[in-house]
C-alpha cells in the first residue's frame, strides 16, 4: 500500500503508522522512503501507486511541497493519480482538540489545503484522528475493513485481473451461516453483492454504489426473538412472539446484535444504509419497484391506510424479489449509519458519515404514509430515541 501525508512535520505519526502497518502484515511504501521533492521521484511514486492495493492519505494542517508547473502539492497529485487509476483510497483527516500553530501562514497555501480537504471529503468517507495513537488505530481498523469488504482480486492489480476470464479469477468462498440454533436467531437470506443506483428524485444525489455480498434477516426481529436473548419485551404492542419488536432505540438494537453475536459466534450487526436499500430493492434480482417487492404498497406492507393503527405479525404480506418480508412498512428499521447528505461520487461498501447527530431509519411503519415506505425513502432519529414505530432487522457478513 502507498501511504501519503501532507507535510514533513508528521515524522512521529509517520513512524508510528509505518511500524504498525509492518507489524500488521502490511507492506507500506511512500512517506520518507520516497519523498516527493522532484520530478524524478514523482515518476517513482506513480509506479508505486500503480502497484499498490490501497492508498492511505493522511492530512494535517499544512498543504505541502508544490510540484513545479502544476500549482498543486505532491500529496494532492498523488491522491488524484490514485483515484484516476482506481486504487482504493482510505483518507484520514486531522481534527485537533484545539487550534494549533502547525498551520500554513501562507494564505494561498491555506486556501489550497482547505480546497483539497473538500475534494477528498466529496469523494470518500473520511476517518478523523486527534493524535498519533488515534491515527494508528483508525488506519488499522479502516484497512482491515477494506480488506474484508473491498478486497483486491487475489491481491493482484485490478488491471491484470480485468484481463482474465471471470472463470479464472480467484473467488472468495462464501461460507453459509449455520442453521439457527439459538431461539433468538433469525432466518437469514444471502444477498449477492453487486452495483446499483442508490437514491431517488426525492433522495438526491442518486449515486452508484457497489456492495459485497451479505446475509440479511428474512423477517424483522420479533418479540419472541428479543425476549429469548434480552429477557424482556419493550414493545408498545406486546401482542405475540411473531410480532416485530419495537419501542427500541438504536443503542438497544446495537446491544441486541452484540449479545446475539456472543451467544452464537456469528457476526451479526445492523445493516448499513446502502445494504438495506440494496436488499429492499431486490439486489441483483430487482424489478425496480417503488416499494420493496411491488409498486402497490398494499401487497407488501402495513402502513397508515391498512394497518388498523398497529403492528402486524411478520411475514403476512408478499415478499420482495429476494424473499424478504416487511421491508416496506410495519416498523422502521434502524441502520448502522449516521444520517448525512449522500455523496455524488461512486461508493464501494459505504458506511455513511463518520459522525453525526441522528442514526438512519428505513422502511416506514404502520402509522406512516405510503411515501415513507418507498425503498429509497430515508428517516433519522437520535440513537437514544425509542418509539412504537422503530424496530430492526439484522445482517451478517460472510464467515
pLDDT digits (tens, 9 = 90+) for 248-297: 999 999 999 999 999 988 999 999 999 999 999 999 999 999 999 999 99
Question: Over the stretch 133-186, which tens digit does the pLDDT of each residue have?
Answer: 778 877 877 776 666 666 654 443 333 333 333 333 344 455 566 666 788 999
Q: Which residues of the chain have pLDDT under 50?
A: 31, 98-102, 153-172
What pLDDT does 104 receive? 55
Q: What does each C-alpha distance from 8 to 12, 46, 135, 245 come to in angstroms? A: 10, 19, 16, 54
Output the pLDDT for position 33: 52
pLDDT for 99: 46
At 67 the pLDDT is: 80
CATH architecture of 188-396: Alpha-Beta Complex (3.90)
Sequence-separated contacts (24+) of 75-79 with Cβ below 8 Å: 75/4, 75/5, 75/6, 75/36, 75/116, 76/112, 76/116, 76/119, 77/42, 78/2, 78/4, 78/30, 78/36, 78/45, 78/49, 79/4, 79/55, 79/116, 79/119, 79/120
Nearest-angstrom CA–CA distance, 253 and 259: 10
Domain boundaries, the chain: 2-156, 188-396
Give CA–CA dist 2/36, Å, rounded: 13
Which cell numbers in the block locate residue 287? 424489478
Residue 323 bridge partners (DSSP): none
CATH topology of 2-156 equal to that of 188-396? no
pLDDT score recorded for residue 125? 67
CATH number of this structure's domain 2-156: 3.40.50.10140
Q: How far is CA 391 from CA 114, 220, 226, 253, in A?
A: 40, 7, 11, 8
List, as one string, the DSSP characters of 130-170.
Answer: SSHHHHHHHHHHHHHHHHHHS--GGGS-HHHHHTS-GGGS-
Q: Which three cell numbers stand for residue 301?
A: 406492507
- The helix or strand, by DSSP H or E, that contains position 282, with its residue range, turns out to be none
Cα–Cα distance measured from residue 315 to residue 15, given in angstroms and rounded to the nearest whole number? 55
Q: How far is CA 99 from CA 13, 96, 102, 119, in A?
A: 18, 6, 9, 22
Amino acid at each position: 500500500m502507498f501511504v501519503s501525508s501532507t507535510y514533513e512535520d508528521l515524522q512521529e505519526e509517520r513512524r508510528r503508522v509505518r511500524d504498525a502497518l509492518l507489524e500488521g502484515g502490511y507492506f507500506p511504501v511512500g512517506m520518507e522512503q520516497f519523498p516527493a521533492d522532484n520530478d524524478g521521484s514523482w515518476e517513482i511514486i506513480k509506479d508505486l501507486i500503480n502497484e499498490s492495493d490501497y492508498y492511505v492519505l493522511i492530512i494535517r494542517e499544512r498543504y505541502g511541497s508544490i510540484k513545479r508547473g502544476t500549482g498543486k502539492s505532491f500529496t494532492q497529485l498523488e491522491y488524484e493519480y490514485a483515484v484516476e487509476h482506481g486504487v482504493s483510497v482510505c483518507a484520514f483527516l486531522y481534527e485537533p482538540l484545539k487550534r494549533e500553530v502547525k498551520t500554513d501562514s501562507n494564505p494561498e497555501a491555506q486556501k489550497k489545503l482547505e480546497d483539497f480537504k473538500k475534494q477528498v471529503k466529496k469523494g470518500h468517507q473520511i476517518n478523523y484522528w486527534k493524535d498519533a495513537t488515534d491515527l494508528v488505530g483508525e488506519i488499522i481498523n479502516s484497512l482491515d475493513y477494506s480488506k474484508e469488504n473491498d478486497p483486491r482480486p487475489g491481491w493482484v492489480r485490478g488491471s491484470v485481473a480485468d484481463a482474465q476470464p471471470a472463470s479464472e479469477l480467484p473467488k472468495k468462498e462464501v461460507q453459509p451461516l449455520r442453521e439457527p440454533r439459538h431461539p433468538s436467531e433469525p432466518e437469514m437470506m444471502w444477498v449477492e453483492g453487486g452495483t446499483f443506483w442508490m437514491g431517488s428524485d426525492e433522495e438526491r444525489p442518486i449515486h452508484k454504489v457497489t456492495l459485497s455480498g451479505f446475509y440479511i434477516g428474512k423477517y424483522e426481529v420479533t418479540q419472541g426473538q428479543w425476549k429469548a436473548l434480552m429477557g424482556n419485551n419493550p414493545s408498545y404492542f406486546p401482542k405475540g412472539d411473531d410480532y416485530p419488536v419495537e419501542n427500541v432505540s438504536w443503542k438497544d438494537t446495537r446491544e441486541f446484535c452484540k449479545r446475539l453475536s456472543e451467544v452464537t459466534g456469528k457476526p451479526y450487526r445492523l445493516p448499513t444504509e446502502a445494504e438495506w436499500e440494496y436488499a429492499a430493492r431486490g439486489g441483483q434480482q430487482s424489478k425496480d419497484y417503488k416499494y420493496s417487492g411491488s409498486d402497490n404498497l398494499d401487497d407488501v406492507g402495513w402502513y397508515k391506510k391498512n394497518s388498523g393503527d398497529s403492528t402486524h405479525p411478520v411475514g403476512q404480506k408478499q415478499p420482495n424479489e429476494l424473499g424478504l418480508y416487511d421491508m416496506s412498512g410495519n416498523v422502521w428499521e434502524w441502520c448502522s449509519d449516521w444520517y448525512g447528505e449522500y455523496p455524488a461520487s461512486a461508493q464501494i461498501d459505504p458506511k455513511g458519515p463518520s459522525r453525526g447527530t441522528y442514526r438512519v431509519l428505513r422502511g416506514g411503519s404502520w402509522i406512516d404514509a405510503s411515501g415513507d415506505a418507498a425503498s429509497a425513502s430515508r428517516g433519522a432519529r437520535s440513537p437514544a430515541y425509542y418509539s412504537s414505530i422503530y424496530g430492526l432487522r439484522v445482517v451478517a457478513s460472510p464467515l
